[in-house]
Amino acid sequence: MNRSQRKTGGIRRYPIPTRKHPPRRLIPAPPRRRPWYRVLSIVVGLAALSVILALAFLVPALSGCDPFAMDDGARLQKPSPQHWLGTDQFGRDVCSRAFYGGRISLPVGVVAVLTAFLPGLGLGLLAGYYGGWVDALVGLATDVMLAFPGILLALLVLAWLGPGLGNAMLAIGLASIPNYIRLARSSTMQVKRAWFVRAARVVGCSDARILTHHILPNIVAPVIVLATLDVGWAILNAAALSFLGLGAQPPTPEWGAMINQGRGFLRQAPWISLAPGGMVILAVLAIQALGDGLRDAMDPRT
């Protein structure tokens, strides 16, 4: 307590604003996202995904080029009215293959996330609700899986199962399970102490009913948001595994495999790799915008 505070009984008084003592400027609070921003983010993400899916089914038919057809006389041709994005080293139309890859890469991301979402949510519910040895066992398995980087764990699974698109989806899903277990477990531990859960236990509700009717509806929102954001991560990892030759196998027009096939022609024909790379960027940005909007919309603080 300084001398001025002793005179005022410990109460800190600020001087009257004058020319010598100008008023203090308060630091403005950070602006919150308005509701229109959250809706706009969701609409933009859904619209972009819808356009990508529509192009994936329409462009191969409208261009008149079979994404699997080879033409020895049209190798490495530049973009033209006949081939909108040029051709690759086998004479295949890059535009139809790049858009056709959306039929493969987007479902790969969704299936991989579902592979992690369902068991991760179930194990997190059980570990957070029962605790004890169940929580210890699930936590030990989660810590072991988290000890490996996600892509390294996926490579270990593929080394055991063998290369292939289905095995790549399973490997990516298994590598993502610990994230859902941790989120579902922490949310369950918070919700199970609520009064409505205690009331349900008092009136004689079974554990299965409490988990499915009382706890699950209150924790599923953040898990769904995490799953939406992880779809883009799964698409990137699937493309990386295909680039390494462990995912989709030729002649499947998957985006990562197409980038790998065109890396030897980057100076001569860069469009072979740029077209699928651009599709990966657009798809991931659209999914991130959708997940960002869902996260803000489902946040109870907003």
Span 130-182, pLDDT tens digits: 988 999 999 999 998 888 888 888 888 888 888 888 899 999 999 899 999 99
Q: Residue 81's pLDDT band (boundaries 50, 70, 90)? A: confident
pLDDT of residue 244: 87
pLDDT of residue 33: 52
Average pLDDT over residues 252-263: 89
Listed in sequence order, the DSSP H helices in the chain are 3-7, 35-62, 94-100, 102-130, 132-146, 150-161, 165-191, 195-202, 207-209, 216-243, 255-262, 271-297
The predicted model scores a pTM of: 0.79
Decide: 112 and 238 in contact? Cβ < 8 Å.
yes
Residue 16: inside a domain: no
Terminal Cα-to-Cα distance of the chain (whole angstroms): 40
Mean pLDDT for all residues in the chain: 83
| CA separation for the pair 297, 302 (Å, rounded) | 7
Residue 282: inside a domain: yes
Number of domains in the chain: 1
Residue 113: inside a domain: yes
165-179, 254-268, 287-301 — which is least confidently predicted? 287-301
Look up residue 20 and give its DSSP letter.
Answer: S
Residue 24: inside a domain: no
Average pLDDT over residues 180-185: 93
CATH of the domain at 279: 1.10.3720.10
Look up residue 74 and give its DSSP letter.
Answer: G
Q: Which residues of 185-202 are buried (b: 16+ CB within 10 A; e: fewer)?
A: bebbbebbeeeebeebee
Average pLDDT over residues 81-101: 88
Q: Residue 111's pLDDT band (boundaries 50, 70, 90)? A: very high
Residue 21: inside a domain: no
Residue 162: inside a domain: yes
Decide: 245 and 164 in contact? Cβ < 8 Å.
no
Domain, as residue range, for 222: 35-66+81-297
Q: What's the 3-state SS for 109-137?
A: HHHHHHHHHHHHHHHHHHHHHHCHHHHHH
Is the model's pLDDT at 25 over the cut of 60?
Answer: no
Average pLDDT over residues 241-248: 87
Residue 27: inside a domain: no
Residue 240: inside a domain: yes
Q: Residue 29's pLDDT band (boundaries 50, 70, 90)? A: very low
Tokens read off for 182:
């941790």
